[in-house]
């Protein structure tokens, strides 16, 4: 469906590519790192994932907006993306249970977007040239946008977790639940907390820069290090916290950014990927079982594979079957493991939710030892 009565808009990329389309969402100008997600569904969950903070998302699915938006499909308090690029945008929706159109949702969340873009062509361009900054505007002409684009900071070196993290600790789950889990919120998703609560956990969620000393006062049975946005190399505060958890040898589970932070705590470097992994169909092999999983992923940084394979204190447990990057490892002689992808998979397949079960089993065994 063509969008009626909308302004023209421009998308300008850092390498000089200029595309013209139609404004969607809020009229205005917004910039960030441009990247693409290959998910066919789950657009609202993607847009509300705090890991996408500071990024313009290119939706590769041909039709966006056709099932509307619902309050129950939020992964955080609201949309976290910087901007949105789509091909066909629908202002009408078919799902009777939807609360509103995606257009209304984007306007309420002040998200600037552009439609009527050849997203296949754009994705091929990003795959070839790599992730880069871009800017969307329904206000300015391309020449003026090039000047504004130069003001946008690089994702490399950016510390963003403390921006999206909770400002105060809070609880999720029942006080009667069996396990007390301290979650370091680097940009946590609601579905992660749901998976922990469903497995008998009372979770206290702490702000990103909370010290280990302050979390330890609650006497948790285990620690969870969440996903989130930005460059792990700019997060020494989180690395130091994880080092202290490792020294105490308390069960620890990290995902996505938490995986990268655990790696850095073990002396492994991280690097900026060419264009990252973002989608719902990335194949990963579990080296412990020999089985493959279809996974949901969202990351633009990665753990150094050579350093990980040579580190005698680490065991690689999962690898990406597309490019052989490290997708998971465990710390030998410690109660700690992590994966690069999202086992809660909202949106995405549920092949990897067993990892939450593995974490709970680790916590159970640890409690028995400590009694």
Per-residue pLDDT tens over the stretch 293-310: 999 999 999 999 999 999
The two three-digit tokens of residue 344, written as one number: 């809660």
Going by pLDDT thresholds of 50, 70 and 90, the confidence category of residue 367 is confident
Instruction: Please give the Cα distance from 280 to 295 (Å, whole number).
Output: 6
148 is catalytic: no
Q: What pLDDT shows up at residue 112?
A: 98
SS3 content of the chain, % helix, strand, coil (to 5): 30, 30, 40
- Catalytic annotation, pick one of 35, 201, 256, 266: 256
DSSP string, 74-86: -SSSS---SEEE-
Q: What pLDDT shows up at residue 3?
A: 52
The structural architecture, per CATH, of the domain 161-370 is: 3-Layer(aba) Sandwich (3.40)
Task: Give the Å distances, CA to CA, from 40 to 59, 167, 252, 349.
Answer: 8, 33, 32, 12
- Catalytic annotation, pick one of 45, 75, 330, 344: 344
The two three-digit tokens of residue 74, written as one number: 């939020």
Going by pLDDT thresholds of 50, 70 and 90, the confidence category of residue 142 is very high
Q: What is the mean pLDDT of residues 25-40?
A: 95
For residues 250 and 241, the answer to whether their CB atoms sit within 8 Å is no
Q: What is the mean pLDDT of residues 158-185?
A: 97
Q: What pLDDT shows up at residue 371?
A: 42
For residues 221 and 179, the answer to whether their CB atoms sit within 8 Å is yes
In terms of phi and psi (left: phi > 0; alpha: psi -120 to 50; beta: otherwise), the region of 277 is: beta
Residues 6+ apart with CB under 8 A from 45: 73, 74, 75, 191, 346, 347
Q: What is the mean pLDDT of residues 268-280?
A: 96
pLDDT digits (tens, 9 = 90+) for 199-219: 999 999 999 999 999 999 999
Q: What pLDDT shows up at residue 370?
A: 54
Q: Is the pLDDT confidence value at 121 over 70?
A: yes
The rounded mean pLDDT for the chain is 95
Domain ranges of the chain: 8-149, 161-370
Q: Using N-to-C axis directions, what is the helix angle for 257-265 and 236-248, rounded to 10°?
A: 70
302 is catalytic: no
Q: What pLDDT shows up at residue 107?
A: 96
Q: What pLDDT shows up at residue 5?
A: 54
Helix (H) or strand (E) holding 95: none
Burial of 224-258, coded b for 16+ CB within 10 Å and e otherwise, reads bbbbbbbbbbebeebbebbbbbbeeebbbbbbbbb
Q: What pLDDT shows up at residue 1?
A: 47
266 is catalytic: no
Cis amide prior to 347 (ω within 30 degrees): yes
Q: What is the mean pLDDT of residues 278-287?
A: 96
Q: Is the pLDDT confidence value at 2 over 70?
A: no
Going by pLDDT thresholds of 50, 70 and 90, the confidence category of residue 369 is low
- Of 3.50.30.20, 3.30.420.10, 3.40.1260.10, 3.40.50.880, the CATH number of 8-149 is 3.50.30.20
The two three-digit tokens of residue 332, written as one number: 């030998």
Instruction: Please give the Cα distance from 162 to 177 (Å, whole number).
Output: 29
pLDDT digits (tens, 9 = 90+) for 43-101: 999 999 999 999 999 999 999 999 999 999 999 999 999 999 999 999 999 999 999 99
């Amino acid at each position: 469906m063509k969008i009626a009565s909308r302004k023209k808009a421009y998308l300008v990329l850092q390498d000089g590519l200029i595309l013209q389309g139609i404004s969607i969402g809020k009229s205005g100008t917004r910039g960030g790192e441009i990247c693409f997600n290959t998910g066919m569904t789950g657009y609202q969950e993607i847009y509300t994932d705090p890991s996408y903070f500071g990024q313009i998302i290119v939706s590769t699915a041909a039709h966006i907006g056709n099932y509307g938006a619902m309050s129950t499909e939020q992964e955080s308090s609201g949309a976290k993306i910087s901007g949105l690029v789509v091909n066909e945008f629908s202002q009408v929706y078919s799902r009777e249970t939807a609360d509103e159109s995606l257009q209304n949702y984007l306007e309420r969340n002040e998200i600037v977007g552009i439609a009527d873009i050849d997203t296949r062509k754009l994705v091929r361009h990003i795959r070839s040239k790599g992730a880069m900054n871009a800017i969307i505007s329904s206000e300015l002409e391309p020449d003026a946008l090039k000047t504004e684009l130069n003001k946008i900071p690089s994702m490399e070196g950016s510390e963003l977790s403390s921006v999206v993290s909770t400002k105060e600790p809070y609880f999720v789950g029942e006080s009667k639940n069996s396990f007390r889990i301290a979650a370091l919120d680097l940009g946590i998703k609601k579905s992660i907390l749901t998976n922990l609560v469903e497995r008998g956990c009372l979770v206290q969620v702490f702000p990103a820069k909370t010290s280990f000393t302050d979390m330890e006062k609650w006497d948790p049975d285990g620690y969870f290090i969440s996903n989130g946005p930005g460059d792990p190399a700019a997060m020494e505060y989180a690395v130091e916290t994880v080092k202290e958890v490792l020294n105490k040898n308390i069960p620890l589970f990290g995902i996505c950014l938490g995986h990268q932070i655990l790696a850095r705590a073990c002396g492994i470097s991280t690097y900026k990927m060419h264009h990252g992994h973002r989608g719902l169909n990335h194949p990963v092999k579990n080296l412990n079982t020999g089985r493959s999983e279809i996974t949901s992923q969202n990351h633009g940084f990665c753990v150094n594979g050579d350093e990980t394979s040579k580190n005698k204190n680490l065991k690689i447990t999962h690898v990406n079957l597309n490019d052989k990057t490290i997708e998971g490892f465990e710390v030998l002689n410690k109660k700690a493991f992590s994966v690069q992808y999202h086992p809660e998979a909202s949106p995405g397949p549920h092949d990897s939710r067993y990892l939450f079960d593995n974490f709970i089993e680790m916590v159970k065994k640890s409690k028995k030892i400590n009694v």
